[in-house]
Structure 1
Amino acid sequence: MKEENSRLQNELNEQKRAISEVEGEIKTLQSNLTMDEIRSKEAKLRKEVKEMEDKLDKLRGGVTLVKPEERKAIEEMYSEKISHWRKRKRMFKDLWDAITENSPKDLKEFKEELGIEYDEDVGVSLQSFCDLLQHGKKRARGQ
């Protein structure tokens, strides 16, 4: 009885091993694409490559993507916005200094109590935006 039980146990283990091998093979086959899926994906990728090559040819051909007039108008508008930012920042600073000049409160707590945040508190720097405009001008002159 023990012999037959151990023999059946061994047979069961072999069957489990065979089943797990077959399941693994099934999973591998299911994860592979069918020929229709492969053809569809290939066509899609070829189309994308063609579009990108056309775009690259345009760029290499020296096509002007932004007209000089549009670029100048945008730079002027950007410069104007930066100027407004500077003025407003200066006005706020003058007012804040006047309000808090004789204040006994801790300025940091008072600012927090009012919900005021400086540009630097949120990781924004006016200078970095000004530098963007300067780099654009340097590039325009260098061309």
Structure 2
Amino acid sequence: MSLIMSLMMFFSNMKPAEALPSLIQKGKASFYSKKFNGRKTAYGERVSSEALAGAHRHLPLNTLVEVTNLDNQRSVIVRINDRGPFAKGRVIDLTHAAAHALGMVSKGIANVSLRVVGKGRPITLTPSAFDTPIAYQPMLEPVL
């Protein structure tokens, strides 16, 4: 019984991953197919191939992670806004823009290291102008 209590006290004092900057993980990265564009992420956002974002199984949502391609040493900072990848042996799924920045688009998969660098800006999940049908969006006039 005392062993169980000791273990509970030990693990209750551990800080979550979001409080551990420079946490490093190595593994394989892949990137989202274009068919996922526009689908909702676990964070409630829409997948955009132009965003620097990614999916991780365990890191808290909205965590900023530096992803480094170990083959060419190119790095990019992405914000975790989804859960996954669900393919065995992969540690992160990236958007097309992040994969392009790492130079991994032609291969599809890359050996990477992940380093937590901080917490991203909070977002609001209120409707935006992009969720409004085009007919109801205000017309923008060019500034001369």
The structure, 1 or 2, with the larger RCO (C-alpha pairs under 8 Å, 6+ apart) is 2
Higher helix share: 1
TM range (shorter): under 0.3
Higher strand share: 2
Larger Rg: 1
